[in-house]
Amino acid sequence: MVKGTCWVADDYVMAYDIIVSEHWTSPIDPIENSKIVMSGVKEEFNRENGFKDKGYTFIVANHNFAGGGKSIEHVITGLMGAGIKGVFATSFARLQFRNAINYGLPFITCDDIHLACETGDELEFDEASGIIKNITKGTEMQSVPVAPFVAEVSESGGLMNYVRDKIAKGEPIG
């Protein structure tokens, strides 16, 4: 069970704006990436720790969150470094959806959730049941269940741990 406030994104929040181009060649590092995460999305986030300092736990979005086709993992490490524990959206861009799964950051599909939340609302997410409660509004929504493999990777703390463990034990992958 995770609890905290949410930021409701506008449409077309792109990977490009989450991590702007001058940082694409930086190391993949949660602390460093979190300092500049979201700097291209909104003027108020465009300063060091601008997004992180807001203290949000969740992001709520509509279609194609983190789209625009960028495979860089800085997007995910930046969000994680900024304290984000889950992103709920109608749909996700596949490159970042995949990266999120590989890092064990819940990217949870939930139709039209952006219509049911406002920035600053307090949400509670139950990973086991997939229920997202909006405590502020007193409502709840059922998200799309996570595939068993995805849950397994998440429990391992990400794909690297999952694979490292298999290799160490000499177990086959897949």
Partner 1 sequence: MTITEKIMARSSGKDKVIPGELVWTDIHSVMTMDFLGKQCFEKFRSLGKTEVFDKDKVICVSDHLVPPPNQKFANMLNEWREVVKQHDITNFYDLGRQGIAHQIMVEQGHVLPGTISIGTDSHANTYGAVGAMGNAIGVTDAAVAMATGKAWFRIPKSVKFNVTGKWQPWVMAKDLSLHIMGMMHWNGHLLYKALEFTGPAISSLSMAGRMTLCNMTVDLGAKNGIVAPDVVTERYLRNRTQDKWEFLNSDDDAEYDQVYDIDISDLAPTIAMPGKLDDTVTIDKLIGTKFNKAFVGTCTNGRLEDIAVMAEIMKDKQVHRDVNMILVPASQTVYLEALQAGHLETLIKAGVAIDTPSCASCAGLHTGVAGSGDIVLSAGNRNMAGRMGSREAKVYLTSPSVVAASSIRGEVTDPRTFDI
Residue numbers of the site for partner 1 (CB under 8 A)? 12, 14, 16-17, 20-21, 24-25, 27-28, 40, 63-64, 67-73, 90-95, 97-99, 102-103, 147, 149, 158-160, 163-164, 167-168, 173-174
Q: Which residue, 48 or 169, is less far from partner 1 as judged by CB?
A: 169
Q: Which residue, 138 or 174, is less far from partner 1 as judged by CB?
A: 174
Q: Which residue, 4 or 158, is less far from partner 1 as judged by CB?
A: 158
Question: Shortest Cβ distance from residue 62 to partner 1 (Å)?
Answer: 8
Q: Which residue, 68 or 83, is less far from partner 1 as judged by CB?
A: 68
Question: Shortest Cβ distance from residue 91 to partner 1 (Å)?
Answer: 5
Count CA within 13 A, CB hemisphere, residue 124: 10
Rounded CA separation 82/105 (Å): 12
Amino acid letter for position 128: A
Residues ≥6 apart with Cβ < 8 Å to 62: 9, 11, 89, 90, 112, 114
Q: Is 30 helix (H, G, I), strand (E, B) or coil?
A: helix
Rounded CA separation 39/54 (Å): 13
Question: Shortest Cβ distance from residue 36 to partner 1 (Å)?
Answer: 13
Q: Which residue, 55 or 149, is less far from partner 1 as judged by CB?
A: 149
Question: Shortest Cβ distance from residue 55 to partner 1 (Å)?
Answer: 27
Question: Shortest Cβ distance from residue 27 to partner 1 (Å)?
Answer: 7
Amino acid letter for position 57: T
Residues ≥6 apart with Cβ < 8 Å to 159: 101, 102, 103, 153
